[in-house]
């Protein structure tokens, strides 16, 4: 975070502490239960949020070297991220062009991807390199049967991908069939803030995958307030962070919440 932003937030939060207030929406918001349980809505969210918009796929340090790859299923789409020999980060549908088997699983290092089903091989750039017994496939043009590329982007030490082509929401300058993502347009002003963290210089330590059987919004909504800290986290977080005091800033599709540690009273007035 930029120092000026830190100072602004510190002043705002100190004022909230002094006044016994917090950032609030203009009015009480009533959230219909169907937002979490309606299957048709969930399908729409999958299409409009997870498939159309850029998704954060991880830090750049996850794939630092040429040949590094990561295969994950996101919103029902098997995605393969690869660092090419040219250093560029690319994304593909992890679907063999022969009969649809995934050509890679997990993460690791590869020089080529060999489909485990019948052995078709693909280069790091997605090109179809080899078809065993190619004489059995007369008329199949290898140059048009590479892995399907997906739009990808890398900025501020972070990797983004989109699960389908087509216009990138909030990025009118990006051509419809572009394989690039305008990450800064997507971040709506947060890019500079992320730069201050210097994520590009980070090293990969570990990752953990959690898939609880809940609507995805619970994972977000339950974190969007410090109101629950004194009751739910009475003996853990509550002694460290003030309950129901916070600042909120919106950046396009994104939001930043900032809470206050009790220890920050040491710099009150400074
Ligand atoms: Fe991949 Fe057959 S499904 S080679």
pLDDT in tens, 47-65: 999 998 999 999 999 999 9
Atom of ligand 1 nearest to the CA of 100: 3
What is the mean predicted confidence (pLDDT) over 122-143? 97
What is the mean predicted confidence (pLDDT) over 192-197? 90
Please give the backbone phi and psi of residue 162, each rounded to the nearest 5 degrees, phi first.
-115, 145
pLDDT at position 236 is 97
pLDDT at position 178 is 82
Atom of ligand 1 nearest to the CA of 97: 1
Q: Does the pLDDT value for residue 196 go beyond 80? A: yes
Report d(CA 140, CA 131) in Å as an integer. 10
**What does the pLDDT look like over 247-261, one tens digit per residue?**
999 999 999 999 999
Which one-letter DSSP state was computed for residue 45?
H
123 contacts 112 by C-beta, under 8 angstroms: yes
Atom of ligand 1 nearest to the CA of 103: 1
pLDDT at position 50 is 92
Residue 149, helix vs strand vs coil: strand
* Distances 1 to 9, 78, 124, 196, 244 between C-alpha atoms, Å: 11, 33, 35, 5, 23
Nearest to 60 by CA among 147, 183, 190, 223: 183
Ligand 1 centroid distance, CA of 118 (Å):
5
Most confident of 162-166, 179-183, 222-226, 233-237: 233-237
171 contacts 185 by C-beta, under 8 angstroms: yes
Which segment of 153-162, 201-210, 238-247 scores lowest on mean pLDDT?
Answer: 201-210
CA-closest residue to ligand 1 atom 2 = 118
Place of tokens 């043009």: 141
157 contacts 199 by C-beta, under 8 angstroms: yes
The 10 Å CB-count burial string (b at 16+, else e) for 106-123 is: ebeebeebbbeeeebbbb
Report d(CA 42, CA 51) in Å as an integer. 12
CA angle 236, 33, 163 (to 5 degrees): 85
Which one-letter DSSP state was computed for residue 180?
B
Task: List the beta strands (DSSP E) in the chain.
Answer: 55-59, 68-74, 77-83, 89-93, 107-109, 112-114, 121-123, 128-130, 149-150, 152-155, 158-161, 241-251, 254-261
Task: Report residue 104's pLDDT band, with 50, 70 and 90 as the boundaries.
Answer: very high
Q: Indicate whether residue 118 lines ligand 1 (CB < 6 A).
A: yes
């Amino acid at each position: 975070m930029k120092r000026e932003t830190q100072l602004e937030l510190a002043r705002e939060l100190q004022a909230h502490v002094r006044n016994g207030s917090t950032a609030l929406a203009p009015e009480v918001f009533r959230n219909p239960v169907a937002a979490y349980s309606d299957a048709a809505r969930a399908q729409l969210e999958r299409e409009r949020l997870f498939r159309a918009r850029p998704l954060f796929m991880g830090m750049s340090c996850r794939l630092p070297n040429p040949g590094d790859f990561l295969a994950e299923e996101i919103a029902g789409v098997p995605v393969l991220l690869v660092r090419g020999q040219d250093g560029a980060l690319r994304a593909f549908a992890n679907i063999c062009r022969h009969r649809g088997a995934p050509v890679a699983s997990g993460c690791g290092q590869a020089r080529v991807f060999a489909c485990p089903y019948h052995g078709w091989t693909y280069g790091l750039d997605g090109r179809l390199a080899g078809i065993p017994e190619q004489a059995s496939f007369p008329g199949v043009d290898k140059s048009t049967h590479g892995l399907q590329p997906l739009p990808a982007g890398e900025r501020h030490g972070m990797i983004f991908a989109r699960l389908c082509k087509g216009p990138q929401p909030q990025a009118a300058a990006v051509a419809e069939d572009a394989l690039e993502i305008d990450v800064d347009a997507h971040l709506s002003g947060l890019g500079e803030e992320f730069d201050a963290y210097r994520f590009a210089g980070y090293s990969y330590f570990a990752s953990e995958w959690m898939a609880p059987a809940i609507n995805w919004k619970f994972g977000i909504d339950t974190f969007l307030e410090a109101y629950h800290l004194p009751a739910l986290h009475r003996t853990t977080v509550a002694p460290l962070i003030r309950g129901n005091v916070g600042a909120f800033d919106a950046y396009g599709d994104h939001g930043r919440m900032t809470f206050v540690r009790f220890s920050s009273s040491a710099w009150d007035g400074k």
